Amino acid sequence: MRHGPPAANAPQGIAMFIRVLGSAAGGGFPQWNCNCTNCQAVRADEPGFLRRTQSSIAVSATGRRWTLVNASPDILQQFQAFPGSWPADGLRGCGVESVVLVDAQIDHTTGLYMLREKGSPWPIWTTDPVYEDLTRGNPILHLLEHYCGVDRQPIPDDGRHFHPQGAESLDWQALPLVSAAPPYSPHRGAPVPGDNVGLVIADPATGRRVFYAPGLAEIDEALFATMASSDCVMVDGTFWTDDEMIAMGLSKKRARDIGHLAQSGPGGMIEQLARLPRHVRRILIHINNTNPILDEGSTERAILTAAGIEVAYDGMEIEL
């Protein structure tokens, strides 16, 4: 590799950096087998449509050392586009030092297979239910033992802080969410706390916090209070309407049934975000290819813009 050290000009000092590696929901944008008007438009490179890879972010306190949150099947492409991940010195290396998983979904975990060349076990932070799914229904963590190995790190289920390698100076906290375990999980129809968590990541030096939840079906008052005390929320942007997939003839399931709160309608994400204090930055992430907000010229996108809601894109950088 001829690349120089990563992020040599990265801003130093007290801050928190978030890099969106992938802003799409499972399937990506375009989705390989989808012929919806959005997927057609992005394939044709129509203006106002951006290609998107599957759901993942990286977090850093320095701009040099990073923690990966979720490992999408598109991870190799995402790392190629992300200098912060590139090896800095030595023959092998990576700017990303550990992985935190918010659930056991395929689009958040199968990228781990692509990271098997690491020379030492990957520190992988999961809740107990996610660990169970990833060692039974989808035993990826067992398979990795035949390659780099896994240094399993438990995400506390009682709200205690944890400190994943790469961004250990930040205070990380997991909140159980109402969403959904993956279709292969024994918990799919009988959810347990910890199947899905949202992350509160705070910089103790500045007090600034981000809330990250790419899959979120319900916002109760406790969760809303957490969002309201954040400086930035990055939340479920999967669907515009609860029956989006049904109306398009693509599925029999509502957004809510598969763990996602739609943006429009009573009690929807737009209404929820409107209740937040003005200073809170609002960003939708994990956007499904069917969602009309992916068309920058759509009326739905204009509604978001008028409401002060941003739509994440691959390569988006947030500094707090």
Give contact residues for Zn ion (rule: CB under 5 A): 34, 36, 39, 289
Closest distance to Zn ion from the beta carbon of 34 (Å): 3
Among 74, 97, 107, 132, indicate the residue that binds ligand MLT (CB under 6 A). 107
Name residues whose C-beta falls within 8 Å of residue 33's C-beta, 6 or more positions apart in sequence. none
Question: Which of 316, 319, 237 lies closest to 78, judged by CA?
Answer: 316
Overall residue count recorded for the chain in this entry: 320
One character per residue 17-36, x = contact with Mn ion (rule: CB under 5 A):
--------xx----------
Kindly state whether residue 28 participates in binding ligand MLT, applying the rule CB under 6 A: no
Name residues whose C-beta falls within 8 Å of residue 177's C-beta, 6 or more positions apart in sequence. 196, 197, 198, 213, 215, 216, 217, 218, 223
Reply yes or no: is the peptide bond before residue 121 cis, omega within 30 of 0.
Answer: no
The sheet that has 56-60: what strands, in order across it? 150-154, 122-126, 96-100, 66-69, 56-60, 17-22, 317-319
Stretch that binds ligand MLT, among 102-110, 117-125, 264-272, 276-284 (CB under 6 A): 102-110
Stretch that binds ligand MLT, among 99-107, 152-160, 189-197, 263-271 (CB under 6 A): 99-107
Stretch that binds Mn ion, among 103-111, 168-176, 292-300, 306-314 (CB under 5 A): 103-111
Among 107, 203, 244, 314, indicate the residue that binds Mn ion (CB under 5 A). 107
Q: Rg (Cα) of the chain, in Å, rounded?
A: 19
Question: Which of 150, 85, 141, 96 lies closest to 123, judged by CA?
Answer: 150
Kindly state whether residue 106 participates in binding ligand MLT, applying the rule CB under 6 A: yes
Q: How far apart are CA 270 and CA 236, in angstroms?
A: 11
Residue 106 interacts, among Mn ion, Zn ion, ligand MLT, none and using kind-specific CB cut-offs from 5 to 8 Å, with ligand MLT
Other CB atoms within 10 Å distance of the CB of residue 246? 15
- Distances in Å between the Cα of 237 and the Cα atoms of 85, 146, 242, 246, 254 are 26, 36, 12, 17, 14
Residues 208-247 that bind ligand MLT (CB under 6 A): 215
Bridge partner residues of 67 (DSSP): 59, 98
Pick between residue 26 and residue 194 the one whose CB is nearest to ligand MLT. Answer: 26
Kindly state whether residue 15 participates in binding ligand MLT, applying the rule CB under 6 A: no
Residue 36 interacts, among ligand MLT, Zn ion, Mn ion, none and using kind-specific CB cut-offs from 5 to 8 Å, with Zn ion
Residue 258 interacts, among Zn ion, Mn ion, ligand MLT, none and using kind-specific CB cut-offs from 5 to 8 Å, with ligand MLT
Kindly state whether residue 105 participates in binding ligand MLT, applying the rule CB under 6 A: yes
Q: What are the residues binding Mn ion (CB under 5 A)?
A: 25-26, 105, 107
Q: What are the residues binding ligand MLT (CB under 6 A)?
A: 25-26, 105-107, 215, 258-259
